[in-house]
Amino acid sequence: MKAFLGSMTGRVFITLLLGVLITGALTQWLADNERQRVLEHARDQNLIERAEQLIMATEIVPTAARPAYLEVANRPGLSLEVGAPRPLAKTTSDFAETLAERLGAGYHIVSADSRPRACDSPPRIPQLYGLLSARWRGACEFLNVRLRDGEELRLAVLPPRAAAVNDDTDYRAVIVLFFLSIAGLAYLVARMTTRPLKRLAVAAQELGNDINRPPLDVSGASEIRQASTAFNAMQARIRQYIFQRTQMLAAITHDLQTPLTRMRLRLEKVADADLQERLIGDLSAMQAMVREGLELARSMDTTETMQMLDLDSLLDSVCDDAADASQAVTLSGRSGMAILGRPLDLRRCLGNLIDNAVKYGREAGVTVDRVNGAARIRVRDSGPGIPPAEQARVFDPFYRVETSRSRESGGTGLGLTIARNIAEQHGGSIALSNHPEGGLEVTLMLPEYYPGK
C-alpha cells in the first residue's frame, strides 16, 4: 500500500478520489441547504395562510366564546389565545408584515420582544445523507394581534414538531455504493493517465541495461507520442555514440599495439640489462593500460545479446578457468537461480573480481547464495583490505590505493570499474567491505530472471 500511494498512479488516484468526494459532498450540502430553505419558506407561507384564516375566523366568533373556540381551533405550529399584549419588539418581522398585508386594514399585527420556549430548541434537519444536520431556521416568534373590534390576541408561531425529512432512513448502502463507484472511476482514470508515464519510466530503466532494447511504440495522446519519439531518437543517438567511441578506442588500441611491439623487439637489443628490464616493465604497463582501456570501453557497450544463464554453471566455469591458471580459488554454496545476462560480460566481471582477490590477497574465496530473490556472490581475499574512506573511490577509473594496492602488484586500476559497469548493466550492484576476520570482501548482487517478466 505504501508503494502504491508513493507512485504516480496512487497519487493521481487519491487526488481524483478526494476531489470527487469533496465536490460531491459540497454539492450535496449546498443542495440540502437549498432544500431546507425552500421547505422553511413553504412552511412559513402555509403558516401565514393558516394564521390569516384563524384570526378572521376568531373575529366572527362571539367574544365570550372565543377562548373556547381557540382551544379547539389551534393546531401544531400556531397557537392563538386571548390576552394582554406582550412588550413590543424594536422591529417587526417579515412574517408579521406579510400577515398584516394579507389581513388588510383594521388589523394590527406587531412582533413581541420575546419568543416561545420551543424556539430555543428547534428540530434538526438531516443533511448529507444523514451524516450532518442543520437547525430549523423558519419563523418562530410571538405576535401581538389586535382585531378590528379592538380585542387583543397573542399569536405564537412555533417550529415543526418533527424533522421535515425522516431521519430514520438508512443511507449507508447509498454512501458505500457511491464511494465504490467513485473509487473505481478514479482508479481507471489514474491508470489511463499514468500508464504512458510508467511505460516511459520502464523504458528508461531498461535502456540503462540494454541500449539495444526495442524502441517504444509511438501511440497514445499527442504529448505521449512526442515523448516516445524523442525517447527513441535519444536511444538511437546514444547507441551511435557508444558504437563510435568503441570503434575509435579499438582503432587507437590496434594502432598503438604495432609500435609498442616494435619497441619491445628493439629493447631486446639494449645492452644494459637493468635498463632493459625497466624499459620492458614500463612498456608492459603501457600495453596493459591500452588493453584494459579497451576492456573498459567494451564494458560500457551492450551489443552482446542477453540470454538466460544458469548462474551456478557460470560460476563453476569461471572458477575452473581460474584454477587452471594456477590461481588459488575456492567455490562454495549454490544459488539454484537463472539470470538474464550477457555471458562474456559476466565472465569478465567475475574474472576481474577473482583476479583482484588473488593479485592483492593471494587467494579468492567465492561464496554464492540466494537473498530476497537475488543472487549474492561474495569474493573474499586474505589481503590487508581497503580503508572505509577509500572503498567508494576504488571504483573510479585508474584510481589505486597506494598504501595497500600499489603498482608493484600490477594492474591499471580498471578492474573494479569494469566489473561495476557490467553489474549495473545487468540490474545488479557491487559493494566492498572489510571482513571482520581480515581481508576484503566484494559482494556482487544479481537479480533473478523470471520468464515472461
Task: Please give the mean pLDDT across all residues of the chain.
Answer: 83
Q: Checking phi first, is residue 114 left (phi over 0); if not, alpha (psi -120 to 50) or beta?
A: beta
In a domain, 170, yes or no: no
Helix axes 8-60, 66-73, angle to 10 degrees: 150
Query: Do both 366 and 299 map to the same domain?
Result: no
In a domain, 175, yes or no: no
| DSSP 8-state symbol, 405 | S
Q: Which residue has the higher pLDDT, 116 or 278?
A: 116
User: What are the tens digits of pLDDT across the range 183-216?
Assistant: 898 888 888 888 888 888 888 877 766 677 788 8
- What is the four-CA torsion angle of 345, 351, 354, 358, rounded to 10 degrees? -150
Mean pLDDT value across residues 134-151: 91
Share of the chain above pLDDT 90, in %: 29
Rg over alpha carbons for the chain, rounded to the nearest Å, is 46
Query: Do both 324 and 417 map to the same domain?
Result: yes
In a domain, 396, yes or no: yes
Using alpha carbons, list the distances in angstroms from residue 406 to 1, 293, 391. Answer: 51, 19, 15
| Least confident stretch, 297-311, 360-374, 404-418 | 404-418
Mean pLDDT value across residues 401-413: 52
Q: CB within 8 A of 68, min separation 6: which ones?
A: none
Query: Do both 443 and 326 map to the same domain?
Result: yes
Q: CB within 8 A of 123, min separation 6: which ones?
A: 135, 136, 159, 160, 161, 162, 163, 164
Residue 349 has pLDDT above 70, yes or no: yes
| DSSP 8-state symbol, 449 | P
In the structure grid, which three cell numbers stand for residue 398, read together?
A: 585508474
pLDDT tier at 450 (50, 70, 90 boundaries)?
A: low
Residue 248 has pLDDT above 90, yes or no: no
Provide the number of structural domains found in the chain.
3
CATH code, 363 = 3.30.565.10
pLDDT tier at 404 (50, 70, 90 boundaries)?
A: very low
Query: Do both 321 and 285 map to the same domain?
Result: no
Whole-angstrom distance, CA of residue 444 vs CA of residue 416: 11
| DSSP 8-state symbol, 445 | E
Query: Do both 428 and 320 map to the same domain?
Result: yes
**Residue that is last in its domain, among 303, 338, 356:** 303
Query: Do both 314 and 280 map to the same domain?
Result: no
**Residue that is last in its domain, among 157, 182, 206:** 157
Q: What are phi and psi of 272, to 5 degrees?
A: -75, 115
Query: Do both 220 and 149 map to the same domain?
Result: no
Helix, coil or strand: residue 375? strand
Query: Do both 7 and 145 map to the same domain?
Result: yes
In a domain, 181, yes or no: no
**Residue that is last in its domain, among 303, 320, 344:** 303
By the 10 Å C-beta count (0-12 exposed, 13-18 middle, 19+ buried), 205 is classed as exposed
Neighbouring CB atoms inside 10 A of 252's CB total: 14
Query: Do both 48 and 150 map to the same domain?
Result: yes
In a domain, 435, yes or no: yes
The parent domain of residue 287 ranges over: 214-303
Neighbouring CB atoms inside 10 A of 98's CB total: 17
Residue 153 has pLDDT above 70, yes or no: yes
Residue 289 has pLDDT above 80, yes or no: no
What is the β-pairing status of strands 364-371 and 329-332? parallel
What is the β-pairing status of strands 440-447 and 374-380? antiparallel
Query: Do both 73 and 137 map to the same domain?
Result: yes
Whole-angstrom distance, CA of residue 9 vs CA of residue 446: 28
Query: Do both 297 and 366 map to the same domain?
Result: no
pLDDT tier at 331 (50, 70, 90 boundaries)?
A: very high
Query: Do both 246 and 113 map to the same domain?
Result: no
Highest mean pLDDT, choosing among 145-159, 241-255, 280-294: 145-159
Residue 61 has pLDDT above 60, yes or no: yes
| DSSP 8-state symbol, 305 | P
Mean pLDDT value across residues 295-323: 80
Highest mean pLDDT, choosing among 144-158, 166-180, 405-419, 423-437: 144-158
In a domain, 196, yes or no: no
Helix axes 222-267, 273-299, angle to 10 degrees: 170
**H or E stretch covering 426:** none
